[in-house]
């Protein structure tokens, strides 16, 4: 029922996009494009490494100074938490707060879990302004934009609420809610159902190659984000061809 309601809500907000009926090829001949009739594109945007990129001050990894700032050994955190627990957390099988608290008891018992989470999220919140500007332009042009991202519940909420991204996008599809993560095919199927779009109407922009390949295997359009093209250029090309 929830998915259906979301579909109906989203559907009302997605305009039908009409594009010019011709494109011009390299020899100057006008040709009919695939957009000849009607084509709708829905942008599915990766978050980390695309729209959000590291520390606000310098873009470095959030944990670059974790050892100095909070006296937490980063190698132990990797071994005791990220390698063993993160997969279950990011697909929603375990909750971040109690699981991280248990790890901290072993590796840094003086640190409060809430303090670490606050530090982590704040140090991983640099908005890539040109990407945000292109999201705003795309939505002004009637293109729906969703975040499609591997996140657990707390950071997904932080992105949308504390960082204000709920004002900038049409919604978020994230792994802990989906019960699967990119590049698992189930994630892409969940995202398609969530938006009410057909696979060929969806365009993933993501900085991780396996996610691009998985999206394409599911029938999506997908463009690898490698910093060589801006989002506006990618969207123009994907819509008009």
Is residue 122 close enough to count as binding Mg ion by CB under 5 A?
Answer: no
Is residue 62 close enough to count as binding Mg ion by CB under 5 A?
Answer: no
Tokens of 187: 């994630």
Is residue 124 close enough to count as binding Mg ion by CB under 5 A?
Answer: no
Q: How far apart are CA 174 and CA 181, in angstroms?
A: 8
Token pair 């109690």 is found at 98
Among 45, 48, 80, 214, binds Mg ion (CB under 5 A): 48
Stretch near Mg ion under the rule CB under 5 A, chosen from 64-72, 108-116, 207-215, 230-238: 207-215
| Reduced 3-state DSSP string for 148-180 | EECCCHHHHHHHHHHCCHHHCCCEEEEHHHHCC
Stretch near Mg ion under the rule CB under 5 A, chosen from 92-100, 117-125, 178-186, 206-214: 206-214
Stretch near Mg ion under the rule CB under 5 A, chosen from 15-23, 45-53, 86-94, 109-117: 45-53
Residues paired with residue 171 on neighbouring β-strands, in sequence order: 146
CB of 46 to Mg ion, least distance (A): 4
Among 6, 49, 127, 238, binds Mg ion (CB under 5 A): 49
Stretch near Mg ion under the rule CB under 5 A, chosen from 5-13, 166-174, 194-202, 203-211: 203-211
CB of 211 to Mg ion, least distance (A): 8
CB-nearer residue toward Mg ion: 45 or 70: 45
Among 85, 193, 207, 229, binds Mg ion (CB under 5 A): 207
Comparing CA positions, the residue from 174, 170, 196 lying closest to residue 40 is 196
CB-nearer residue toward Mg ion: 109 or 227: 227
CB of 237 to Mg ion, least distance (A): 21
**Cis peptide, bond prior to residue 183, ω within 30 of zero:** yes
Given a contact cutoff of 8 angstroms between Cβ atoms, the answer to whether 70 and 111 are in contact is: yes
Stretch near Mg ion under the rule CB under 5 A, chosen from 9-17, 41-49, 67-75, 104-112: 41-49
CB of 138 to Mg ion, least distance (A): 19
Given a contact cutoff of 8 angstroms between Cβ atoms, the answer to whether 11 and 194 are in contact is: no
Q: What is the CA radius of gyration of the chain?
A: 20
Beta strands in the chain (DSSP E): 22-24, 30-32, 42-45, 145-149, 171-174, 202-206, 221-224
Q: How far apart are CA 77 and CA 83, in angstroms?
A: 9
| # chain residues binding Mg ion, by CB under 5 A | 4
Burial 127-137 (b: 16+ CB within 10 A, else e): ebeebbebbee
Is residue 240 close enough to count as binding Mg ion by CB under 5 A?
Answer: no
Give residues in contact with Mg ion (CB under 5 A): 46, 48-49, 207
């Amino acid at each position: 029922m929830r998915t259906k309601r979301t579909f109906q809500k989203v559907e009302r907000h997605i305009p039908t996009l009409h594009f010019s009926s011709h494109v011009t090829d390299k020899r100057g001949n006008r040709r009919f494009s695939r957009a000849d009739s009607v084509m709708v594109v829905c942008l599915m945007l990766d978050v980390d490494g695309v729209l959000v990129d590291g520390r606000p001050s310098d873009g470095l990894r959030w944990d670059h100074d974790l050892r100095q700032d909070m006296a937490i050994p980063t190698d132990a955190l990797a071994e005791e938490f990220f390698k063993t627990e993160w997969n279950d957390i990011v697909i929603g099988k375990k909750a971040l707060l109690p699981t991280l608290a248990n790890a901290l008891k072993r590796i840094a018992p003086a640190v409060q879990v809430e303090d670490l989470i606050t530090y982590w999220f704040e140090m991983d919140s640099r908005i890539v302004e040109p990407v945000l500007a292109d999201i705003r332009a795309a939505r002004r042009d009637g293109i729906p934009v969703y975040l499609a991202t591997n996140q657990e519940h707390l950071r997904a909420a932080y992105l949308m609420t504390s960082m204000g991204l709920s004002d900038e996008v049409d919604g978020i599809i994230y792994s802990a809610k989906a019960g699967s993560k990119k590049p698992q095919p189930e994630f892409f199927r969940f995202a398609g159902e969530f938006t009410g779009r057909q696979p060929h109407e969806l365009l993933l922009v993501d900085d991780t190659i396996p996610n691009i390949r998985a999206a394409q295997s599911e029938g999506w359009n997908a463009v690898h984000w490698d910093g060589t093209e801006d989002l506006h250029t990618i969207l123009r090309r994907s819509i008009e061809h």
